[in-house]
Amino acid sequence: MKSGTSSKNNRAAASGKASGSSGTSSDSQITGQQADKEAISSTSPSYLQKFFTDQLKDIYYAEKALLNGLEEMKSAVSTEELQDAFETHRQQTERHVKRLEQVFRLIKQEPEAKPCAAMDGLLKEARNIISETEEGSFTRDAALIIAAQKVEHYEIATYGGLVQLAVTMDMRRAADILDKTLQEEEDTDQQLTHIAESYINIEAEHEGGYSWDKQAIGAGSVTL
Ligand SMILES: [Fe+2]
Ligand SMILES: [Fe+2]
């Protein structure tokens, strides 16, 4: 289930090259000197700098959209441990938004969200699961864990790539900040795997009243 191989490598690269320089907390204030050093020109950025900024805008939109998505998923599930996990990650996601704003400030760009079709699609999938499963069922909880993990994997891929790009462009402070979020995304993914495998998947397997079956029988086809 875990897919963090490449992102772990990215994190190793970031901590080796980026963290070693300052050793400061990623949530601390950005100094003017740091911002000057890692600023991206708004008039003549390199292609890679432009792509980096573009990806920041993508994940900025995605994180904001996810705030609502996690709230909806938390309200839809019935297992307390899963509700707590979604709430904890919603609070982390608020910090992820703030960290992205830090990175925008660091590179001297205005925080800007660019619509992310991938996150919109993943959240639509989660909403479909909510409408297709029975309230209070373990099946719904098991399915929403997978939906949430798809979101985490998207974030892991994005942050893993951004950390690596920041390291490549010698933007050490930006790499540190993004790496902190990357680690939280990976931890969340692992925690969701643990919750699913410890009991929710097993309970779901033995559950009656499987709403997808009912819908499939009624519609005469399976639309998964
Ligand atoms: Fe996030
Ligand atoms: Fe996340």
CA of 55 to the centre of ligand 1 (A): 14
CA of 63 to the centre of ligand 2 (A): 7
CA of 128 to the centre of ligand 1 (A): 22
CA of 176 to the centre of ligand 1 (A): 15
The mean predicted confidence, pLDDT, of the chain is: 85
Q: Which ligand neighbours the alpha carbon of 59 most closely?
A: 1
Q: Which ligand neighbours the alpha carbon of 151 most closely?
A: 2
The residue among 66, 70, 60 whose CA lies nearest residue 159 is 60
Q: Does residue 216 carry a pLDDT above 80?
A: no
Instruction: Kindly report the CATH class assigned to 45-206.
Output: mainly alpha
pLDDT at 40: 74
pLDDT at 28: 54
Q: Which ligand neighbours the alpha carbon of 93 most closely?
A: 1
CA of 224 to the centre of ligand 1 (A): 27
Cβ–Cβ < 8 Å for 71, 126? no
- What confidence tens digit (pLDDT) does each residue in 40-97 have? 766 677 899 999 999 999 999 999 999 999 999 999 999 999 999 999 999 999 999 9
Q: Does residue 137 carry a pLDDT above 60?
A: yes
Q: Which ligand neighbours the alpha carbon of 97 most closely?
A: 1
